[in-house]
Amino acid sequence: MTTPTNLNLIWALTGGSTNPGDAKYSTGWEVEIPTYQDFNHVLRSLDEAKLSYAEADVYLWQDLIAYAAGAKVKKGGVTYRCVTSHNDSVGSNPQDPSLDTTNSYWVVGSVFSTLADSYSNLRAVEGLKLDKVQTRPTNDLWNSNDVTINNISNIIALNNDSASYDNLLFGNVRGKLVVINVANLTDPDGRNLISDTSSYNIYHEGNKPTQGDIDGTIPTEPQDGKLYGRRANNWVEVTTTTISEAPPPPVSGNGQSWYNLEDGRLYVDINDGDSSQWVPASPPIIPELVASNIVYEDNENIGKTTVQSALDYMASQPALTYISNRQYPTVSNGADSDHDIVFSSGKIEDSTGTFPIVTRELTKQADAAWVAGTNVGGLFSGSMTPNTTYHLFFIVRDSDGVVDAGFDTDSEAANIPAGYTTYRRIASLVTDVNANLRKFTQRGNFFEYVVEAANLGGRPTLVTGVAVVEKVSALPHGLTNLLGIVGATVFYSGTSTVLIQMVSEFTEISSLVNYAASIHNGFSFNSIKATLPLGVDPSVQFYSTFTNGGMNISVSALGWIDDRG
């Protein structure tokens, strides 16, 4: 390497020196003998240029130079970097760095980069920029550094110009990242970077804090399966437990617990150094209480002795057995009592007994064609006709499980609307001679007419021993699991002893009810009631004997019992 000498000397600094002019600089020496003053000027200019660079490590900005992006110059004591290549041949100085307020050509900053256009992309706001100083094939591998600081401790000072704010040091001291608050100092004062109270560790996954690093912490919890409370910064084993409704007084975390009979929680006495308090140590715990009063379904006592064993038993039972008769939905006459039926909410199995249906309250109109929803038509097919049995169903839409309701003349919902498959019959009703629904009340499985539905009235006097067959048209037909309730009213005058027998064609019992009375000298009105199975076309036979004439019998339908199966 060449060692320069006499960089501080300038040729002909005090001797004669004459500028040969810009034209001579362009042509250089020709066949001529220049003056010594001309030679002195050329040599002096070279020395001045070298000395200027040696003094400032940068040339002063000068007009009429073609500066390339990345060129460094100094103007007014400020060093600039060129970001746009330019050459002003006119000499009016429009690219003077001190006049470039838009930073179109010059910025105060620098960039270290492997990119050819790094200076062209340098912006004034970026200051010192590192732009891909090293290129890396992946994000994860360490194969190069962008900045490297080598020292026994590596310190970066972050100083604030305002005295209102502290200066900070950031560094690697003994292999740990630390931050040191040096207040307003800018010069090192020899403090210990580890033990000084102004030094703070920076914690991360590789440098986790210990109990001693953070005030107020307690040791890692014991892993021995025992229950512990807390006293200040230490664990205290729980050795006593109080069971009561009211909390006992805490004793400064001295290892006691309390089982609260009110909420079923276990509490531990915790003292955090400020005060003692009861802290929940568990979710609610079900006590082993007597379960003798727990009843499964409607009336089955499951015979379990504790709450937990009763819960375990019920959880093991099939889901559908939890639907009791009390949950079955009911029906009632609507605002238009001749045609509307209100279906209540509840829960019931489908017709196969395998699928639970959770019902909602709906009002359906029996005199209008079925439409999905409430307060709309509910008749699956046809129109209402007199003395006809209509079966009431809850139905479930196949696509989304929405529950609806309606009426059908078929007991197995043969005319169910399209898109519905699952159903359950919950009642059956009969129209009168005007094709209107009769008013009724329902109590569980018992349906009772508000007004008795007369089948036969004012019948002529019966002859002793004669059987009269009467069809019970006012009760539902088409089902064999219904039990009808009918009444016979006896009207007679005078003195008579009467015996009446009613027999259903669907039972083998010869006499369902006997009515016997002996009335003398007067007018009497009496009635008898009987139950009979209802079939497809139920009828009842009336037998009578009497000792005197003047007797009439009228027959009425009072209601029926339907298990809604």
Q: How far apart are CA 209 and CA 213, in angstroms?
A: 6
pLDDT higher than 80, residue 52: yes
Computed over every residue of the chain, the mean pLDDT equals 78
Comparing 431 with 289, the larger pLDDT belongs to: 431
pLDDT value at position 427? 93
Thinking of the domain 446-562, which architecture would CATH place it in? Answer: Sandwich (2.60)
Residues 6+ apart with CB under 8 A from 217: 211, 233
Q: Name the residue ranges covered by the structural domains of the chain.
A: 22-126, 154-208, 286-317, 325-437, 446-562
Q: pLDDT tens digit string along 117-134?
A: 999 999 999 999 999 998
Bridge partners (DSSP) of residue 295 are 301
pLDDT value at position 353? 82
Q: pLDDT tens digit string along 6-42?
A: 888 998 889 889 999 888 888 888 888 889 998 899 8
Q: How far apart are CA 272 and CA 217, in angstroms?
A: 10
- Coil/strand/helix, residue 26: helix
pLDDT higher than 50, residue 321: no
Comparing 421 with 261, the larger pLDDT belongs to: 421
What type of residue is 326? R
Q: What is the dihedral of CA 55, 57, 62, 65, to 10 degrees?
A: 140
Q: What is the pTM for the complete model shown? A: 0.42
Q: pLDDT tens digit string along 94-112?
A: 789 998 999 999 999 999 9
Q: pLDDT tens digit string along 520-555?
A: 333 334 444 555 555 545 555 555 555 555 555 666
Q: What is the DSSP letter of 509?
A: -
Of 200-214, 315-329, 354-368, 415-429, least confident by mean pLDDT is: 315-329
pLDDT higher than 60, residue 271: yes
Structure tokens belonging to residue 325: 């008769």
Q: pLDDT tens digit string along 359-385?
A: 889 999 999 999 999 999 999 999 999
Q: How confident is the model at residue 519 (pLDDT cuts 50, 70, 90)?
A: very low
pLDDT value at position 488? 62
pLDDT value at position 282? 64
Which DSSP string corresponds to 161-216? SSTTS--EEEEEETTEEEEEE-TT--S-----TTTSTTEEEPPBTTBPPPGGGSTT
Q: How confident is the model at residue 559 (pLDDT cuts 50, 70, 90)?
A: confident
pLDDT value at position 314? 62
pLDDT value at position 492? 54
Of 85-94, 275-284, 293-302, 370-379, least confident by mean pLDDT is: 293-302
Structure tokens belonging to residue 186: 């800018």
Taking a C-beta distance cutoff of 8 angstroms, is the pair 97, 106 a contact?
yes
Q: How far apart are CA 352 and CA 337, in angstroms?
A: 31
Among 435, 449, 423, residue whose Cα is nearest residue 387: 435
22-126, CATH topology level: Seminal Fluid Protein  PDC-109 (Domain B) (2.10.10)
Query: Does residue 225 come out as left (phi exceeding 0), alpha (psi in the -120 to 50 range) or beta?
Result: left
